[in-house]
Structure 1
């Protein structure tokens, strides 16, 4: 393996601000900001919008989409006239 062609792989802290959760892992991501970790070392920190701590799929708060209810709501709001007509309007 040629060392000069590989990206720099180093410890990085990823922080999910919405969940108040951070984890240390190795990555090629870089950042100008740093954070002092529990072990007393300073690592670059990358803020992310969503992680496994805040994603609805992993937290069990995922919602099922009620497509039938949405269609009924659309028809109630705009009427069923356009839905039942053919291409020639009859």
Structure 2
């Protein structure tokens, strides 16, 4: 590989602002905000609106909404028996 053409690839902390979950992974993203991680080191901080910790598909809330919709649809179709 050629030198000095690739972005820096280092640890970055991502924070899901909807649930407060944080996780550290390697990324090319950069930020001016920083945070002190559990290991005592300072890393760039990227705030996310949604992640797998709060997304309905990954938390199981989407399946619950589907089943609630099916029950309501059944009651509407067949009435209160």
Tell me the TM-score normalized by structure 1.
0.69
Aligned residues: 66
Runs of 4+ deviating beyond 4 Å: none
Structure 1 unaligned spans of 5+: 70-90
Match of 1:84 in 2: none
The question of 1:27 aligning with 2:27 is answered yes
| TM-aligned CA deviation for residue 5 of structure 1 | 1.2
Rg: which structure is higher?
1
Structure 2 unaligned spans of 5+: 74-81
Query: Which structure's residues are more often helix, by fraction?
Result: 2
The question of 1:44 aligning with 2:44 is answered yes
Tell me the TM-score normalized by structure 2.
0.76
The SS at the match of 1:4 is coil
